[in-house]
Amino acid sequence: MSKHLHLESTTDSQSFESNYSEIALALHKQGYIVQTFPLPPHLPEALLLALKQHYFDELAPAGIGREDQYQHNPFVRSDRIYWIDQHCHATKEYLSWVDGLRRFLNRELFLGLRQFECHYAHYAPGDYYKRHVDAFKGEQNRKITIILYLNPGWQCELGGELIVYDGDSQNPLIKISPTFGKMVVFISDEFPHEVLAAKVNRYSLTGWLRQDGT
């Protein structure tokens, strides 16, 4: 029985390998990647359900910075967030998928990633997050940003795009519509980005692979 389980989990991690390697290659070559639906098909669905069933009432106004530098500034961002943990099947499975990616990136790109922090985000109609970077160069903290969109039936006309800029440039490098199951991965200190207001509710899971320990 345990042998059988072992074989199954080997098959699983192997099936993610090609995906992990696509991400690693893109991060190495251009620093970012947008994938239409990289996770196992049931997972985005389960993550959205978990948000609605367990975490929706826990969402709270997002702050900027961490710990002692933490401040709530609605001029910069107006979304509400909830930091996830291993408490339900869906978040556990997602955290384990990301951990596989973390180990793959460490092996292939020597990034020394040690932990992952991640929150749900809810942007109500009109909410935004102005242009910002997720990490500052030279700081050993957030290294890789991973965003997963959880918006079934999303249409381009609804807005809510993530606009990614190349360094200091004012010209958008890429505009990403937050369609269901899409994932965006980029090097946290290289790409300023902003979230435009949408006409309807916009849901996502946003996380960072960090180089510091717990």
CA distances, 73 to each of 66, 127, 160 (Å): 13, 13, 20
190 contact, one of ligand OGA, Mn ion, none, CB 5-8 Å limit per kind? none
**Footprint of Mn ion on 99-138 (CB under 5 A):** 134
Measured from the CB of residue 57, what is the shortest distance to Mn ion in angstroms?
A: 24
Phi, psi values for residue 46, rounded to 5°: -65, -35
Q: Which residues pair with 93 in a beta bridge?
A: none
CA distances, 134 to each of 18, 34, 39, 55, 148 (Å): 27, 17, 23, 24, 16
Structure token digits, residue 187: 């090097």
206 lies in the site for ligand OGA, by CB under 6 A:
yes
Structure token digits, residue 52: 């609605």
- Contact between 46 and 29 under an 8 Å Cβ cutoff? The reply is no
Site string for ligand OGA, 125-144 (x = CB under 6 A): ----x----x----------
CB nearer to Mn ion: give 44 or 207: 207
210 lies in the site for ligand OGA, by CB under 6 A:
no
**Footprint of ligand OGA on 3-42 (CB under 6 A):** none
- In the chain, DSSP finds a helix count (H) and a strand count (E) of 3, 11
Among 80, 102, 143, 193, binds ligand OGA (CB under 6 A): 193
143 contact, one of ligand OGA, Mn ion, none, CB 5-8 Å limit per kind? none
Which residues lie near ligand OGA (CB under 6 A)? 121, 129, 134, 147, 162, 193, 195, 204, 206
